[in-house]
C-alpha cells in the first residue's frame, strides 16, 4: 500500500471496502429493518467458525475514500450498518461524523476487540473469547450478542453480561452451522433466564445478504 494511502487509512479517511449492500437487518434488536450495510475488510480475531473469513486480510480489499464508500447509501436507507471484519481496527470518527452530518443513523457490529472510535446510534457488541473486548465498550453497548457454538458459550455469555451497562439488551444467537443442535438449548436457557432473548440470523433463512 502506498504511503499516502496508508496515511489516509490510518486517519480513517479511507477504509478497505469488502462489500456494501442494501438489505434487511437479520439479527438483533433491529431485525427486520431495512438498512444499508458497509463491510470493512480486516479482522485479527480469528474465530474458527467465522462465516466471513474472506474479510480477514485487509490487503485484499481496496482502500476506498469514505465519500466513495457511502455514495448512494442515503438514497437507500437512513440506517447505515458498519460491519466487517472488525471495523474498530480503524478510526471510525471521520466516517460516522460524515454520516451523521448527512442525517444518517450509524450502527456498528463489532467484537469490541479494538479501541472504540466513532459516534454511534447503535452499538452491537458481539464479544469473542479469542480476543476480548476493551473495557470501555461495555458501558456504551446497546446490545450484547453472544454467539453460541458450544455449551461453554453460556458461561461466557454470563461473564460478558456481568460487564455491560444496565440498559444493554442481552441476546443469544446460535452459530449457524450448529443451529440445529444449539437452538433447543438456547430456547431452554432463555426460558430459565429471561433476561436473555433469542437472536436468529433471519437473513440466512430468507436467503438474503
Q: Give me the residues that bind ligand SF4 (CB under 6 A), please.
A: 43, 45-47, 50, 52, 55, 84-86, 111, 128
Strands (E) located in the chain: 14-24, 34-40, 63-65, 79-83, 105-110, 122-125, 143-148, 169-174, 196-198
3-state secondary structure of 109: strand
Residue among 13 and 45 whose Cβ is closer to ligand SF4: 45
CB of 96 to ligand SF4, least distance (A): 19
Please list, residue by residue across 50-62, b when 16 or more beta carbons sit within 10 angstroms of its beta carbon and e when fewer do.
beeeebbebeebe
Interstrand relation of 34-40 and 14-24 (parallel, antiparallel or unpaired): antiparallel
Residue among 47 and 200 whose Cβ is closer to ligand SF4: 47
- Locate all alpha helices (DSSP H) within the chain, ordered by sequence: 3-11, 66-70, 73-76, 93-101, 135-138, 152-161, 179-192, 202-206
Residue among 52 and 132 whose Cβ is closer to ligand SF4: 52
Residue among 54 and 93 whose Cβ is closer to ligand SF4: 54
Residue among 12 and 41 whose Cβ is closer to ligand SF4: 41
Residue among 2 and 48 whose Cβ is closer to ligand SF4: 48
| Cβ burial, residue 153 (10 Å; 0-12/13-18/19+) | buried
CB of 147 to ligand SF4, least distance (A): 8
CB of 78 to ligand SF4, least distance (A): 25
CA distance 209 to 203: 6
CB of 206 to ligand SF4, least distance (A): 20
Among residues 200, 192, 108, 124, the alpha carbon closest in space to that of 154 is found at 192
CB of 7 to ligand SF4, least distance (A): 25
**Is the distance from CB of 61 to CB of 41 less than 8 angstroms?**
yes
CB of 104 to ligand SF4, least distance (A): 23
Amino acid at each position: 500500500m502506498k504511503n499516502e494511502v496508508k496515511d489516509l487509512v490510518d486517519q480513517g479517511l479511507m477504509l478497505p471496502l469488502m462489500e456494501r449492500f442494501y438489505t434487511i437487518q437479520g439479527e438483533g434488536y433491529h431485525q427486520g429493518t431495512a438498512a444499508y450495510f458497509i463491510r470493512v475488510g480486516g479482522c485479527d480475531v480469528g474465530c474458527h467458525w467465522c462465516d466471513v473469513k474472506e474479510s480477514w486480510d485487509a490487503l485484499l480489499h481496496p482502500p476506498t475514500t469514505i465519500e466513495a464508500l457511502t455514495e448512494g447509501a442515503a438514497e437507500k436507507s437512513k440506517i447505515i450498518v458498519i460491519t466487517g471484519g472488525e471495523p474498530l481496527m480503524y478510526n471510525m470518527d471521520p466516517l460516522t461524523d460524515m454520516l451523521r452530518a448527512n442525517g444518517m443513523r450509524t450502527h456498528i457490529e463489532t467484537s469490541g476487540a479494538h479501541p472504540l472510535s466513532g459516534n454511534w446510534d447503535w452499538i452491537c457488541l458481539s464479544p469473542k473469547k479469542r480476543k476480548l473486548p476493551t473495557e470501555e465498550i461495555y458501558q456504551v453497548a446497546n446490545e450484547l450478542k453472544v454467539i453460541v457454538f458450544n455449551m461453554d458459550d453460556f458461561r461466557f455469555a454470563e461473564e460478558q453480561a456481568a460487564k455491560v451497562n444496565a440498559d444493554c439488551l442481552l441476546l443469544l444467537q446460535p452459530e449457524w452451522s450448529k443451529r440445529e443442535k444449539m437452538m433447543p438449548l438456547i430456547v431452554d436457557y432463555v426460558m430459565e433466564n429471561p433476561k436473555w432473548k433469542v437472536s436468529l440470523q433471519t437473513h440466512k433463512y430468507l436467503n438474503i445478504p
